[in-house]
Structure 1
Amino acid sequence: MGSERQQEVEAILAPAVAKIGFDLEGLQVTKAGRRLLVRVLVDKDGGISLDDVAVVSKACSKALDESDSTGGPFADTAYTLEVSSPGVDRPLTEPRHWRRNIGRLVAVHIGEEPFTGRVTAASERGIELEADGVRRSATYAELGPGKVQIELR
């Protein structure tokens, strides 16, 4: 789908989502048969629940409906709205992603070196990881995208 429409939708939804305390982590507008599919990914500190998804869905629907009444991106186009969390397989690329995963095991490249360890701290400047008693600190500039490792207990 055209990136112009996606940018227009993002400009409508980002403030609506932020206003109720969530971060817009992703947005995708694609064709699904005769309709458009609007996929919205949201998150917040502490994660999101099904009740949160319902709250965000209602806020997004309201924002899009209000924009459509003034000729918005879906004024004469049918669409389906789908709201969810990014899931565990989302790459950790922003400081807030790392902060939300303190205590979890992650795999990441620090410079060229692969490292798998538990996130012990995350600040606006960087993170601290620990594996087998070895602590590593790195700035976000040194990190590649992190990937949460699934641990079966």
Structure 2
Amino acid sequence: MSTTQSERLRELLEPLVTAAGLELEEIEISRAGRRRQLRVVVDSDEGATLDACAELSRAVSERLDETDAMGEDEYVLEVSSPGADRPLSEHRHYLRAVGRLAKFHLHEGEELVARILTVDEEGLDLEVPGVKGRRPTARRIAFADIARARVEIEFNRKDTKKEEEA
């Protein structure tokens, strides 16, 4: 059974990421002209700070220099967090997004923008914003019904306003 380069890199880098108190979300290798780009995406429940990414980048670079995991060709290393509008694909992503607005694409073709209220093993409890002055409504969605989901960027988040008023 052969392993792909991404799998080998994951085995090599995951201990470094874990030691830094982060979780390895994704490893992506792409070509940019004659060079390759290695993108390592990390996160944690508290988020991945710029300092944590920079420190991890140095550790990853040293580890890659010690091995032949990237071969002889030149490459650019990027260590980053998933970003504010991250896709939600794992249970832990939904847990981190409680209180956030998200856009859901359901398997049945429906699109829905709603705030995540709670998350359990089977699915999500949501608050769907009211339209034209109507009150928000509650809705339950099972994980099995979600084709894909992504956090929506909000400039005036609901939970931020409550904290400022307190």
Per the normalisation by structure 1, the TM-score is: 0.81
Which residue is 1:87 aligned to?
Answer: 83
Bigger Rg over Cα: 2
Identity percentage of aligned residues: 39
Equivalent pair of 2:88/2:150 in contact (CA under 8 Å): yes
What CA deviation, in whole Å up to 9, does each residue of 1:51-72 have, x standing for no partner? Answer: 1111221232233233x1xxx2
> How many positions carry a matched residue from both structures?
147
Mark the runs of 5 or more structure 2 residues left unpaired by the alignment.
Answer: 129-134, 157-166
Which residue is 2:152 aligned to?
Answer: 149
Q: Secondary structure at the match of 1:36?
A: strand
1:133 partnered with 2:129: no
Equivalent pair of 1:95/1:126 in contact (CA under 8 Å): no
How far the C-alpha of 1:38 sits from its partner, in A, is 0.9
Letter in 2 for 1:150: I
Q: Aligned ranges for residues 82-121 of structure 1 at < 5 Å?
A: 82-112=78-108, 113-121=110-118
Displaced runs of 4 or more, over 6 A: none
Which residue is 2:39 aligned to?
Answer: 39
How far the C-alpha of 1:33 sits from its partner, in A, is 4.1
Change (3 A) 1:114 1:75: closer
Q: CA RMSD in A?
A: 2.2
Distance 1:133 1:33 in 2: 49
Distance 1:30 1:109 in 2: 27
Distance 1:151 1:30 in 2: 30
How far the C-alpha of 1:95 sits from its partner, in A, is 0.8
Distance 1:73 1:107 in 2: 37
Letter in 1 for 2:47: G
Which residue is 1:30 aligned to?
Answer: 30
Per the normalisation by structure 2, the TM-score is: 0.75
Which residue is 1:65 aligned to?
Answer: 65
Mark the runs of 5 or more structure 1 residues left unpaired by the alignment.
Answer: none
Equivalent pair of 1:110/1:138 in contact (CA under 8 Å): no
